[in-house]
Amino acid sequence: MKLIIREYLASLRERDELDAILPDLLSEMGFTIISKPARGTKQHGVDIAAVGYNEAGEKCVYLFSVKKGDLTRQDWNVGNQALRPSLDEIQDVYIPSSIPVEYVGLKIIICLCFGGYVKETIRADVSGYQKKRTTDDLSFEEWNGDKIAGLISEGILREEMLPKDLRSHFQKSVALVDEPDISYKHFSSLVTQLRQIGGEESKRVRSARQIYICVWILFVWARDAENVDSAYRACELAILNVWELVKPLIENGGSDNEEITKVLFQLVQLYQVIGAELIGKRILPYSNKRHSLSVATHSHSRIDVNLKLFDMLGRLAMMGLIHHWLNEHLEINSPTHIQGLTSLVGSAFDIIENNPALYLPCHDAQATSIALFLLLCLASGAHQERCEKWLVQTSARLNYSVLTQVDYPTISIEYEDLLIHPRRDEGYFKEATAGSTLIPLLACWLNALGHFDVVASMEKMVGEKLDHTTMQLWTADASSEVHMYVNSDEHGLGLCDLPIKPGTTLAAVISELCGTDKGFESLSANKTGFWPIILMACRHWELPVPPNFWLEFSLFTNKD
């Protein structure tokens, strides 16, 4: 375990990674954090300031100057970002002027903090510097990767809080990042059990922090292995499980609620970092190249290509929606934010237009990815013409596939079933098309966009070939609050027998059915403004996106 953590620490970057993980570690060790890393403010050499007890039991002020990787000669004394000038600034400026009044007079320990080791070529320089400047009231400590790894493995991941079976799941999830499904399976077992441990009130904050740090470690290893798929899925799962830990504290408030909410925001920010690594670096650069992402699946099977591309579209949409929510939540409505969303949606349409597999899903549950992306389009307010073209083309292909009974979407999500789909058998056709959330979704949006002729064609197709199909959508009910975020049982309300016809009837019926149950409005993530967590649960557990999300937009409410 310690070796895994040490390698992880050595791979961390200085800004927003190593300095982001340390405050949580220090809090778990009983330190009181005075200040954390911040951008745009003069820190005078101190990245983290905290108050704690030294080995002699004396209360001291700890001042951390953080650097990444190994400490080399260049990192020690070359340039403004070197460690030695930072240490000088701490002594010359920070200590005389920035220590809070209540801690003045305490002994001060300056901590040289880095994820790797001190190179032997500068060991004498570092030791000499510390020896020369050590006094009765000022001393130095070296917090290298080995020390921090030991503190993590013995502290926040110590034996009694991370038993052998959990440590085994964690180690396997890290070791198998090149096998994302297996890695995720082990991480899922780890997170589920940590959440259950966190069911005890006294252990809730600790469990949340443990989950967060475990995701960080998994991500760094996955990034080094150049396969962050398992880390992406693990971070989604972590957010959903930490929300379960937040829920009991929402009404009570207090310090625990504040601390877990901080962890939740850290996980959301980490989700964006992982998304940028996956989407920003590995997907978007190839958005305008014909068939490039389809070919990148490295499979000759149309099913593999289809599954991967729709999954990618859902992830891209989720990343954009989280970005939009963060800016909305923090009340940052800057032109840069709007431009970023517009650019992301534009790149997504480039991907769709260059990878025709995205014009028709192979199974009905992929309607979730389509719904998420449509919500992102609404949030950006851009590219409506391209959106309409995509939906019209998808509808046309759907009509053709159903009428010819070739490659039409099936209700099965089992990979083995998809490989042999479709079969030329009328009984099989009825079984494979017993229900549809895709058709009502398309019809509702096409009606809202004014494409009544396209919906009329769908209505004809449904009447001729799918009169046995239950046209349905899904929304939350009273039981969803208990089960939705961690998928612990079946829940929700089916909106069935929806009329597929041109005009406003469909949206009105959906709206009326949604109004019969207050389950959606009563979801904790809704009431507290954390609505993206509901969408994340839908994406992660392959649930249909509740139409409540889009029916409130003027696109649906202002139609005659």
Q: Would you say 51 and 61 are in contact if contact means Cβ atoms under 8 Å apart?
A: yes
Task: Please give the pLDDT value at position 558.
Answer: 58
Supply φ then ψ for residue 416, to 5 degrees.
Answer: -65, -40
Q: Is 53 helix (H, G, I), strand (E, B) or coil?
A: strand
Task: Please give the pLDDT value at position 305.
Answer: 97
Q: Are strands 435-436 and 48-53 parallel, antiparallel or unpaired?
A: unpaired
Q: Is 51 helix (H, G, I), strand (E, B) or coil?
A: strand
CA distances in angstroms from 180 to 22, 163, 176, 271, 314, listed in the order given: 28, 24, 7, 17, 18
Give alpha helix (H) positions in 153-291. Answer: 164-175, 180-197, 204-224, 229-246, 254-275, 281-282
* Residue from 294, 317, 303 nearest 372 by CA: 317
Question: Average pLDDT per run of 10 along the chain, which is 560 residues long?
Answer: 61 62 78 78 82 92 87 83 89 93 94 87 93 94 84 56 72 91 95 88 82 87 90 97 92 78 91 94 94 93 96 97 87 73 95 97 98 95 95 98 96 95 90 97 96 97 96 97 96 96 94 93 94 97 96 72
What's the whole-model pTM score? 0.81
Task: Please give the pLDDT value at position 38.
Answer: 66
* Residue from 424, 414, 425, 356 nearest 390 by CA: 356
* Residue from 533, 545, 546 nearest 239 by CA: 533
pLDDT tens string 531-549: 999 999 999 999 999 999 9
Q: Would you say 174 and 227 are in contact if contact means Cβ atoms under 8 Å apart?
A: no
Q: What is the spatial distance between Cα 498 and Cα 507, in angstroms, rounded to a whole number?
A: 9
Strands (E), 14-123: 32-35, 48-53, 59-67, 107-114
Q: What is the spatial distance between Cα 90 and Cα 112, in angstroms, rounded to a whole number?
A: 12
Task: Please give the pLDDT value at position 159.
Answer: 44
| Domain 1-156, CATH number (from 1.10.357, 1.20.1410, 3.40.50, 3.40.91) | 3.40.91
Q: What is the spatial distance between Cα 30 and Cα 50, in angstroms, rounded to a whole number?
A: 10
Q: Would you say 466 and 505 are in contact if contact means Cβ atoms under 8 Å apart?
A: no
Task: Please give the pLDDT value at position 393.
Answer: 98
Task: Please give the pLDDT value at position 239.
Answer: 97
Q: What is the spatial distance between Cα 523 and Cα 247, in angstroms, rounded to a whole number?
A: 10
Q: Would you say 148 and 117 are in contact if contact means Cβ atoms under 8 Å apart?
A: no
Longest dimension (CA), the chain: 90
